[in-house]
Amino acid sequence: DTGVSQDPRHKITKRGQNVTFRCDPISEHNRLYWYRQTLGQGPEFLTYFQNEAQLEKSRLLSDRFSAERPKGSFSTLEIQRTEQGDSAMYLCASSPVNTGELFFGEGSRLTVL
């Protein structure tokens, strides 16, 4: 499968725990994006990378959130000290620079109890 893959698909955790999500983009895509989606809403931008450089972060990303893309390939999104309001679907997408077309993974659904 050559699409965007995300792991885990589902994560249930207790409030206060740390969670980490991984995204593997399409191999030739140098841009990688993280979005968050809650029920009934469109996805909201969190951050994006061009190669290994993190170029923009949304103010939605509190200091409990951190994202990395250490070698310009896969990326991780970590949420520390989770809160119930963090419950959402976390979506990863990648795109080539030339077209800007985004391709999304299936998402990682987080439930914080």
Give the three-state DSSP class for 26. coil
Helix, strand, or coil (residue 84): helix
Binding mask 2-21 for other proteins (x = CB under 8 A): --x-x---------------
Cβ–Cβ contacts within 10 Å for residue 107, how many?
21
List the one residue from 7, 24, 68, 106 that touches other proteins (CB under 8 A). 106
Nearest-angstrom CA–CA distance, 73 and 3: 13
Those residues whose C-beta lies under 8 Å from the C-beta of residue 42, and which sit 6 or more positions away, are none
By CB under 8 A, tell whether 74 contacts other proteins: no
Give percent helix, percent strand, percent coil of the chain, each to the nearest 5. 5, 50, 50
Task: By CB under 8 A, tell whether 70 contacts other proteins.
Answer: no
- Under the binding rule (CB under 8 A), the answer on residue 83 touching other proteins is no
Amino acid at 94: S
In the shown chain, the binding pattern of residues 20 to 59 toward other proteins, with x for contact by CB under 8 A and - for none, equals: -----------x-x-x----xxxxxx--x-x----xx---
Q: Considering the complex, what minimum distance in angstroms separates the CB of residue 53 from other proteins?
A: 12
Binding stretches for other proteins (CB under 8 A): 4, 6, 31, 33, 35, 40-45, 48, 50, 55-56, 91, 93, 99-107, 109
